[in-house]
Amino acid sequence: MENFKYADITQKIIGASFEVHKFLGNGFQEVIYQRALAYELGQVGLSFAREIEQHIFYKDLPEPIGTRRADFVVEDKVLVELKAVIQLEDVHLAQALNYLKVYKLEVGLLINFGSKSMTFKRLVR
């Protein structure tokens, strides 16, 4: 068992993601993986919200300057951002870390279905 915060949840998410990649392989659009992962998360008993819109605030401005949708927030604790690219790049990592900040979450997973082998990064804020 991983010795990380929310390790039980992240292990189930990673396992569900491997199941999706094992079945679908690479080459599909992100939304296809998102729908398949929603099914698999349900199969392993995790509750989640998909495509939740979150306001983005800047400094002390009272009104949000925009919104962003996270792919998943699992068990109200773990942000999951999906990609379907050949390889994860620093920009994807920076984007996911920014989402952790605006969603006020501590732990996230950046999962890439676009390479021959599924890859993921665990993020902690």
Bridge partner residues of 56 (DSSP): 66
Residue boundaries of the structural domains of the chain: 7-124
Cα separation, 34 vs 31, in Å, equals: 5
- pLDDT confidence bin for 3, thresholds 50/70/90: low
pLDDT for 38-83, tens place per residue?
999 999 999 999 988 888 888 899 998 998 888 999 999 999 999 9
Question: What is the C-alpha R_g of the chain?
Answer: 14
Looking at CATH, the fold of the domain delimited by 7-124 is given as Trna Endonuclease; Chain: A, domain 1 (3.40.1350)
**What is the pLDDT at residue 31?**
95
- pLDDT confidence bin for 2, thresholds 50/70/90: very low
**SS3 at position 69:** strand
Bridge partner residues of 68 (DSSP): 54
pTM: 0.89
